[in-house]
Chains A and B, each alone.
Chain A
Amino acid sequence: MSANPDNQKSWMGTRLPRKEDLRLITGQGKYVADIVLPGMLHAVFVRSDYAHARLVSVDVSAALEAPGVVAVITGEEMKTQCRSLRQPVLLPNLPAKYPTYYGLAVDKVKFHGDPVAMVIARDKYQAVDAAELVVVDYEELPVVLDPEAALAPDSPRVHEEEADNLMFEMTFTGGATDEDRAKNAAEVERIFQSADVVVKERFRVHRTGTTPMETRGVLADWSASDGLTVYNTTQRPHIDRLAFADILDIPAEKVRVIAPRDMGGGFGLKAPFYRESVVVAYACRKLGRPVRWIESRYESLMNIGQERGQINTLEVAASKEGKLLALRNRGIADVGTGQIGVYWGFVMPFLGAVEMPNAYTWEAGDTDLRVIFTNKACLTPSRAFGHFPTRFAVERAVDIVARKIGMEPSDLRRRNLVPRLPYTSVTGEYYDSGDFLKVWDNLMSQVDLPGFRREQAEARAQGKYLGIGFGCGVELSGVASELMVPMENQPGYGAATVRIDPRGKVFIMGGDAPGGQGHETTISQIVAATFGISPEDTIITTGDTGTTPFGSGTIGARMGSYFASAVRKACDELREKMTHVLAHDLGIRATMEEFAFTDGEIVYQRDPSKRKGFREIAERIVMFPINLPEGEVGGLETTAFFEAAKPMICFNADACVVEVELATGQFKVLRWLTSEDVGNVINPMIVDGQMHGAIVQGLSNAIFEEFIYNDQGQQMTADFEHYKLATAADMPDIKVTYASTPCPHTPLGTRGIGEGRPSAVPGALCNALVDALVPFGIEITELPIRPSVLWQKLKAAGAV
């Protein structure tokens, strides 16, 4: 192999430009809408105009007569021809009311946007026109919109087969039995009774989430001999495959799901198994022709990306010295219909409740959660899965406590950070490793707090209101089987197949399906560093169930934790084999550790004259498997699985500075500073990008975005005029810094990052706004926080 100067580098920790970017920015990306199959038909859904109504009739006769129309599928057909989506493979191992539902609405529509029928035509325009000819006779029913009112015994029910609208209820503290929990609750009450300081607030977070550039899309293809192939915008193709098989009653070996290599963002909302996919796949089998559905932006905003939506009534007890003693929380989540495979809308608030204690050493806790059905779209996972609202509540409450006892909120935080890991939180979440104080001190070393307080006082004297806010977050680094099996009925391990071809190129196959995070680049760096080759010599395939090992999906920061570790493990197994054969060929006794993989060669370090090209040894083992060491066979391919013994985490701390204009309530985030423990970094540019994106998303969710349902359950924010996203001009300068501790539980010391990261943002932002307005004693307990809201508060406080 020719000497490539690049090979001299250590690829780990290098700011390597993303391999995928060239094709993406030159229009060479291939998304699901770019895939065209011969004879392909186009599907369009007819969706409910009502939030809650009985389906009196669905008349498809006129639509069937329309030009180009091939078929119209209704809920009745789905119910009789397919199984429901309430299949074991899609059900968590948690006690909840799981509604039975089908690909299309049957008997009732339960939210504005509920799919009622699917029209299939030769082109999309014909399908759209014909969809308008489907006549649906609705008989309106009273709507269930307020989750608290929905618990009243006389409330209408979203699912009439259920006794009430309470979908899920759980206490997260105090043990497994009622007796233990009652004892714990009494103990917490005793702490509250004797505490110096008690804070109680009702924290409300609106419905908001993520809006990927690429909406959902499904292309299904049927062959009598090979079965079903589905190209699906999904983060978890292997789970989808099993779900398609079970719902459509097709043997699983006859189902192949391919998540296209290029996906325009997942953010969690492409992780559920969706009912639309079932209808498209069913239609394709029925018609024997490929059928494609590409979701419109309107449909996307009506149906998916809606998360958060919680009310947390949180009480905190503390000592006057600033020691946090106990937290008590009563959580309510407005789940919508609860009709989304894998998550059922309640798994997010469930995990949000688990993650509520954050990085603080609470002595005790009493927390519970109720998840309630309403006539709204089902909550779908969104980055910062479930804990955007609980983290907002805790980070705000901590500040309120600090102010009450006259302490700097940053000092109170440091005082209560978990000092040593591992640690198990009051809700039972395991924090494996890291150094929270190191991360915190790194943050504070870059914040001149006394200097800022002087600047703040001087600015105030001139009528200018500056504020500083802090926040922090413990986030999951991948989701261990220990949590994944109960939570999602799926394994947590990472899996990777690594194959070295006779020309010395390395193929990596992973069953997860990334959505633009740069997996090709990151994985290529790991493989290049492990084998001493160039990242250009690697080829990564993901998301195709026909060619990749089983993976639970690109979810929960599994890349840097589980997938990366599985890749490394597989590479090490092949290194072992290559050095074993090489030592045999060289006639020496040596272990793998005595060889260096560098610059395209494998070098015996005790005698560097004994060396061989990486390609040569690959070719020798794959193509010429004679005279091998005893017990060895030819071929260079292996699949490795990685699972840490316990769950793993990453950690971050944030500081931000804001300026508020009193007369209007307008505010601007001036600066955002972070300190991160992300373990060993593979590509700092990609990690920086994850953090930038997370902070932007957190701010956009907290300030701009909001899904609004009116008093009839009409969803009023189904376009980007009404569902407002932040723009670049709204965003502060973001400075990301690192104070990492290598993870001792992964082979490369890496941590999975980025998924939970937005959750620290709303607390820090609102803490800064409150800090700026301390002279007026304003509190913020609800999101979104907008200039108009702030102005109302200022007005009420007599500031304007």
Chain B
Amino acid sequence: MELKDQIRINAPRQRVFEALNNPAILKQAIPGCESLEATSPTDFTAVVAARIGPLAARFTGSVSLADIEPPVRYTLSGEGKGGPAGFAKVKAAVELEDDGQATLLNYSVKADIGGKLGQLGGSIVDRTAQKLAGEFFQQFDALITLPPGSEADAAATDETSSDGPARAARAGIGPLWWGIAAAMALLLAWLALK
């Protein structure tokens, strides 16, 4: 599966860069994220719980960053294991550029999804993942454009991150695909993490 897109974020590049370095914000933006920890400056682990149709899965992921050129670009490779649900392997590249007072975030992702998750169906996975990746960035955008000072509060009090399926349902997306999207959003978050 391949994803490629450009996201416009309503904040200057420096601020986007800082936010991308804020695990609290990322943890909130990733639906179902239970933990997000740095094990070294370039290695991270995360746990995301998701319900994917008949499969209740807890994805355990690890990711490594490389070719870091702050605050312009980097690449990452990572892997998420969802136990009986299957697994995902990802390679991605991200690049930030100024757009007036805003920032353009370009990303491209190549993911191999395996196990039962991968067998659910190809084209619909691509489309839904793309759509929900957009939602992740919308949430990210909303969080970093909050007035300065409220970030920490938001990080401490926002409960929506554990409410992923409900939000997905409101957006008209079935819980089956929400789970895949959650995994994808996680991968994209790793991609943004530095």
Q: Which residues of A contact B (CB under 8 A)?
A: 46, 49-50, 112, 131-132, 135, 710, 712, 714-716, 718-719, 721-722
Q: Is the CB of A49 within 8 A of B114?
A: yes
Q: Mark B102-134, 1 if CB is under 8 A from A, else 0.
A: 000000000010111011011000000000000
Contacts of B114 in A (CB 8 A): 49-50, 112, 712, 714
Complex Cα distance, B118 from A719, in Å, reads: 12
**Residues of B contacting A718 in the complex (Cβ-Cβ under 8 angstroms):** 119
| A50, A135, A710, most chain B CB atoms within 10 A | A710
Interface members, chain B 12-63 (any A CB < 8 Å): 56
Chain B residue nearest to A721 (CB atoms) is B121
Residues of B within 8 A of A (CB): 56, 83-84, 86-87, 112, 114-116, 118-119, 121-122
Q: Which 4 A-B pairs have the closest CB atoms?
A: A49-B115, A132-B84, A714-B114, A718-B119
B84 and A712 form a contact (CB under 8 A):
no
Return the chain A residue nearest B57 by Cβ: A132
CB-based contact B121/A131 at 8 Å: no
Q: Which of A49, A132, A710, A722 contacts B87 (CB 8 A)?
A: A49
Complex alpha-carbon distance, A719 and B54, angstroms: 15
- Taking a contact as CB atoms closer than 8 A, the residue among B84, B115, B119 that contacts A722 in the complex is B119
| Closest residue of A by beta carbon distance from B116 | A49
A46 vs B56: C-alpha distance when bound (angstroms): 16
| B121 CB contacts on chain A under 8 angstroms | 721-722
Pair B119/A135 contact, Cβ less than 8 Å = no
Give the Cβ gap from A526 to chain B, nearest Cβ, in Å: 47
- Would A714 and B118 count as touching, CB distance under 8 A? yes
Q: What B residues does A46 contact at CB under 8 A?
A: 84
Q: Nearest B residue to A46 by beta-carbon distance?
A: B84
A714 touches B83 (CB 8 A): no
Distance in Å from the Cβ of B27 to the closest Cβ of chain A? 25
Q: How far is the CB of A471 from chain B (nearest CB, A)?
A: 35
Collect the chain B residues with CB atoms within 8 Å of residue A721's CB.
Answer: 121
Residues of A within 8 A of B86 (CB): 49
16 sample A-B contacts, Cβ–Cβ < 8 Å, listed by A number? A46-B84, A49-B86, A49-B87, A49-B116, A50-B114, A131-B84, A132-B84, A135-B83, A712-B112, A712-B114, A714-B114, A714-B118, A714-B119, A719-B119, A721-B121, A722-B119
Give the residue of A132, A715, A716, A722 whose beta carbon is less than 8 angstroms from that of B83: A132
B49 to chain A, nearest CB (A): 14
Across the two chains, which residue of chain A brings its CB closest to B84?
A132
* Distance, CA A712 to CA B113, complexed state (A): 9
Docked CA distance A112–B112 (Å): 14
Minimum CB–CB distance for A610 against chain B, Å: 73
Residues of A within 8 A of B119 (CB): 714-716, 718-719, 722
Which chain A residues lie closer than 8 Å to B115 at the CB level? 49, 714
Min C-beta distance of B112 to chain A, whole Å: 6
* Assembly CA distance A715 to B86 (angstroms): 12
State the Cβ distance, B90 to closest chain A Cβ, in Å: 13
When distances are taken between beta carbons in the complex, the residues of chain B under 8 Å from A132 are 56, 83-84
B78 smallest CB distance to A (angstroms): 14
Output the nearest chain B residue to A301 by Cβ-Cβ distance: B119
A712 cross-chain contacts in B, Cβ below 8 A: 112, 114
B52 CB → nearest A CB, Å: 12
Given contacts A714-B114, A714-B118, 17 further A-B contacts (CB under 8 A): A46-B84, A49-B86, A49-B87, A49-B115, A49-B116, A50-B114, A132-B56, A132-B84, A135-B83, A712-B114, A714-B119, A715-B119, A716-B119, A718-B119, A719-B119, A721-B121, A722-B119
Return A472 CB to nearest CB of chain B, in Å.
Answer: 39
With a cutoff of 8 Å between Cβ atoms, the chain B residues found around residue A719 in the complex are 119
Cβ contacts under 8 Å, B84 to chain A: 46, 131-132
Question: In chain A, what residue has the closest Cβ to B114?
Answer: A714
Q: Which residues of B contact A50 (CB under 8 A)?
A: 114
Measured CA separation A715–B119 after assembly (Å): 7
> Given the complex, which residues of A lie within 8 Å of B87, measured CB to CB?
49
Which of A49, A112, A715, A721 is most buried by chain B, counting CB atoms within 10 A of its CB? A49
B179–chain A nearest beta-carbon distance, Å: 15
Write out the residue numbers on chain A whose beta carbons fall within 8 Å of the beta carbon of B56. Answer: 132
A112 to B115, CA, bound (A): 8
> Could you tell me the distance between the alpha carbons of A112 and B116 in the complex, rounded to whole angstroms?
10
Cα–Cα, bound, A715→B83 (Å): 17
* Complex Cα spacing A50 to B116, Å: 11
Quick check: A716 and B122 within 8 Å, CB to CB?
Answer: yes
Q: Which residues from B are CB-within-8-Å of A716?
A: 118-119, 122
